[in-house]
Structure 1
Amino acid sequence: MTYADRIRELALSLPETYEDEPWGHPVFKVADNKMFASMSAEGPTVHLTVKLTAEEREIAQLLPYVSRARYVGRYGWITAEVTDEESLEAALEWIRESYWLKAPAELRGAVEVED
């Protein structure tokens, strides 16, 4: 299973999520059109964009594979370059956090987010 497959599998396993492609690459949304993740794949490398809390974002941006997201970075979004298991594990956790931040309150309880 590729990194993109694993990211897609987790994103679509969360309650009331679906995949869209408004800009020609996969975007994962929850409930009423709320984007919580976006991904683009170039060969084995995946670029994943997610929203994080200010504290988590500050820590994430210390990692060499994380940068402030283009266009939406000022709103708390980062982009991670997923190229190995370490970056994949971080990305999967950030998908859960981004979902939790964007999902309606009644859906948040279905997702555990590490503190």
Structure 2
Amino acid sequence: MDALERLRELCLVLPEVTERLSHGEPTWFIRDKKTFVMFANQHHDDRVGFWCAAPEGAQEELLATDPDRFFRPPYVGHRGWIGVYLDIEDVDWDHLADIVRDAYRHVAPKSLAALVD
């Protein structure tokens, strides 16, 4: 399974999530309104990854811990969003599942966020 398919699987399992193109890339929305994850296929560089919402402080922690895997994405990085590279050899999909769930919880209404483990 390629990176896009794995990311899609992580997103679409969450309550009331839909997918559609936004800015030419697959993007996942909660209740078809609020973006929480965007795929980035060489969107502003030559890398493949995704951008996602994140709780306060998560961006700084991940960038300090592993700058080869995580980055500050353009446009949304100033709001604390995380960029995650998917074109590396050893993608930790379990860790990325946690990051996607955190992004969902950060953006979702409380009633939906409470449904996610």
Normalising by the smaller structure, the TM-score range is: 0.7 to 0.9
Q: Which amino acid aligns with 1:99?
A: Y
* Alignment match, 2:38: 38
* Alignment match, 1:91: 96
- 2:13, 2:90 → 1: CA distance? 20
Matches within 5 A, 1:16-31: 16-31=16-31
Q: Which amino acid aligns with 2:15?
A: P
Kept in 2: contact 1:19–1:28 (CA 8 A):
yes
Q: Which amino acid aligns with 2:111?
A: E
Kept in 1: contact 2:29–2:37 (CA 8 A):
yes
- 1:26, 1:76 → 2: CA distance? 20
* Alignment match, 2:50: 48
* Alignment match, 1:102: 107
Q: How many residues end up aligned between the 2 structures?
A: 110
User: What's the secondary structure of 2:95's corresponding residue?
Assistant: helix
Q: Which amino acid aligns with 1:4?
A: L
- 1:100, 1:11 → 2: CA distance? 12
TM-score, normalised to structure 2, is 0.83
- Identity across matched positions, percent: 27
Give the CA deviation at 1:54: 2.3
TM-score, normalised to structure 1, is 0.85
2:78 paired residue among 74, 92, 109: 74
**Structure 2 gaps, min length 5:** none
